Amino acid sequence: MSDSLETLHDLFVHELKDLYSAENQLIKALPKMSQAAQSPELKRAFDTHLRETKEQVRRLEQVFKALGEKPGGKTCKAMQGLVEEGEELLEEDADPDVMDAALIVTAQKVEHYEIASYGSVCTFGRVLGYDQATEILKETMAEEERTDKLLTGIAEKLNVQAKTADEADESESSEDRSEAMTDRPMNRTSSSGNARGNAGGNQRGRTSTSRSKGSSGGNPGGSRKRSTARARR
Ligand SMILES: [Fe+2]
């Protein structure tokens, strides 16, 4: 890094260059993430954020222009690392639901990184009296925060789906249950260490607020619910 950081302005520009690199890397990564996503809602979230990210790059260029500075010349290594980690996850042989969850955690790490950076540059911009630049950057900040919340919402639905299948398993015989344990990695993850040596009662020990209602005893709709959850894949 050859830029000297004598003033807060220098640091402001340095961080903007970092963000410019980060956003451009994300433009390349998001289509792959969208392609790997199974949930239509998650795909949509990635596609929307790709459009937003292109606009965010344009906004950064606007800020550079207003400051009489040039973008580029810097590679955001943090984003490089986050993208690399995401790519490693994409290579895993994963259950589609679990892959969606993996894509969400990757995307949320990215969003949190960006939120931290935009938060700082918005503050620096305000301190430096760069009102126009700050307003532009705040728009992007709001988009990143919205995206993060949206991803949390999608993740919560994935968990609900897993729980529903889980409840359905309770009404099946222990043989069926052990079959379900092997073909639903999401369950396996949440009950790790439980599956062996506790035959028949393997899922009872877990705390679940939704389990206490409607799922105990019989649950005639249980298996149907599970096949619905599967059919949705
Ligand atoms: Fe962004």
pLDDT tier, 1 (very low <50, low <70, confident <90, very high otherwise): very low
CA of 156 to the centre of ligand 1 (A): 22
Residue 215 has a pLDDT of: 40
> Considering the chain, what is the average pLDDT of its residues?
79
Angstrom distance (rounded) from CA 215 to CA 219: 6
Burial (CB count within 10 angstroms: exposed 0-12, middle 13-18, buried 19+), residue 21:
buried
What is the 55 CA–ligand 1 centroid distance (Å)? 9
Q: Are 186 and 94 within 8 A, CB to CB? A: no
Domain ranges within the chain, ordered by starting residue: 8-149
CA angle in degrees (0–180, nearest 5) for 36-97-56: 45
The model's pTM is 0.70
194-230: pLDDT as tens digits: 333 334 333 433 333 333 333 443 343 333 333 334 4
CA-to-CA separations, 137 to 59, 121, 142, 159, in angstroms, rounded = 7, 8, 9, 33
- Helices vs strands, H then E, count in the chain: 8, 0
What CA–CA distance (Å, rounded) separates 127 from 137? 14
pLDDT tens digits along 115-165: 999 999 999 999 999 999 999 999 999 999 999 999 999 999 886 565 566
Q: What percent of the chain stands above pLDDT 70?
A: 67
Which fold would CATH assign to domain 8-149? Ferritin (1.20.1260)
Q: Is the pLDDT of residue 180 over 60?
A: no
Mean pLDDT for 97-116 is: 96
110 Cα–ligand 1 center, Å: 8
Pick from 3-7, 9-13, 22-26, 178-182: least confident: 178-182
Which DSSP symbol is given to 66? H
> How far apart, in whole angstroms, are the C-alpha atoms of residue 188 and residue 101?
14
pLDDT at 233 over 60: no
- At 33-76, the pLDDT tens digits run 999 999 999 999 999 999 999 999 999 999 999 999 999 889 99
43-47, 91-95, 104-108, 133-137: lowest mean pLDDT where? Answer: 91-95
Q: Looking up tokens 């580029």, which residue turns up? A: 72
Ligand 1 center to residue 75 CA distance, Å?
Answer: 15
Token pair in block for residue 2: 């050859």
CA 52–ligand 1 middle distance (angstroms):
7
Centroid of ligand 1 to alpha carbon of 72 (angstroms): 16
